[in-house]
Amino acid sequence: MSIFGSIMSGIFDHAASAASPGPGTKTPEAAQASAPTARYAAASAQVDPSAAQQSAPSAAKSPVDVTAIMDKLASQTKEKLEWRKSIVDLMKLLNLDSSIAARKRLAQELHYSGNMHDSASMNVWLHKQVMIKLAEHGGKVPELLTAQTTITDQEAKAWVGKDVYSSDGNKLGEVAAILRTADNKITELRADLGGFLGIGRHEIALPAARFYLQNDRVVLDLTAAQAKELPKVAK
């Protein structure tokens, strides 16, 4: 099984176990509880071409509450594990190998094109992609788990001028502005990319789902090559 398949198995099996009425009893709820197994088997085949090809059931399925399952697992361990922010902690909670080698294999499965030597950027990317794929296969996950969702006016101003990086670890430019709603929810990044000493630079705009605030930098959910193709913002 692929590493992502193991992640799905670790989460979705908990949902199936909770929904199961016990041995010898077959109910509609129990039949529905078996759906996660088919879903993570199909997901494993998708990310690992060598895996046996299996199709997810076509019938509608109720979502699996990833948050409830992971919070319950976190409450059962003495170690403080921030699964909402860390792919390492998420894998630890599922009793999976969270070593850099395992994360690199997961990155390959999910077609990461960035620099694997920059583990910090890779980890942020992995966490978001795992959340996205869990949602695609029937998992219920919080919105924008891998990104800071709100920011004050003072904090937004402090980000102006900070470096902007691509998902593959290349410095692209600087933050021009972080746009927010009236209740401080982040909506958009404006960044000045390219050029030298301000010459030839152009401003781009990205929605909140396509970038992350990471320590003292902004990381785009785009490679350097993809970022070059972004349209300029008309001034």
pLDDT at site 216 = 82
- Residues 90, 202, single domain; the answer is no
- Residues 23, 92, single domain; the answer is yes
pLDDT at site 27 = 44
- Residues 201, 173, single domain; the answer is yes
Is 89 a member of any domain? yes
Give the domain-ending residue among 140, 166, 187: 140
Q: Which domain holds residue 206?
A: 153-228
Is 205 a member of any domain? yes
Give the residue, 146 or 169, on which the prediction is more confident.
169
- Residues 115, 164, single domain; the answer is no
d(CA 172, CA 160): 14
- Is the pLDDT confidence value at 229 over 80? yes
pLDDT band at 217 (very low <50, low <70, confident <90, very high): confident
Give the domain-ending residue among 85, 110, 140: 140
pLDDT band at 51 (very low <50, low <70, confident <90, very high): very low
pLDDT at site 143 = 55
* 53-100 confidence digits (pLDDT tens): 333 333 335 788 998 999 999 999 999 998 987 899 999 999 999 999
d(CA 29, CA 227): 46
Is 147 a member of any domain? no
- Residues 41, 18, single domain; the answer is yes
pLDDT at site 24 = 52
- Residues 73, 157, single domain; the answer is no
d(CA 176, CA 203): 8
- Residues 59, 168, single domain; the answer is no
Per the structure, the count of domains in the chain is: 2
- Residues 17, 119, single domain; the answer is yes
Is 145 a member of any domain? no
Residue 94 CB coordination number (10 Å): 20
- Residues 31, 115, single domain; the answer is yes
Asked if 147 and 208 count as a contact pair (C-beta separation under 8 A), the reply is: yes
Q: Calculate the CA dihedral of residues 178, 184, 186, 187 and round it to 10 degrees.
A: -90
> Residue 159 sits in a domain of what CATH number?
2.30.30.240
For 134-232, strand residue ranges (E) read 139-140, 163-165, 171-180, 186-193, 202-207, 211-214, 217-220
Give the pTM. 0.53
Asked if 10 and 139 count as a contact pair (C-beta separation under 8 A), the reply is: no
* 175-205 confidence digits (pLDDT tens): 999 999 888 888 899 999 986 544 567 899 9
- Residues 160, 197, single domain; the answer is yes
- Residues 56, 136, single domain; the answer is yes
pLDDT band at 30 (very low <50, low <70, confident <90, very high): very low
- Residues 52, 94, single domain; the answer is yes
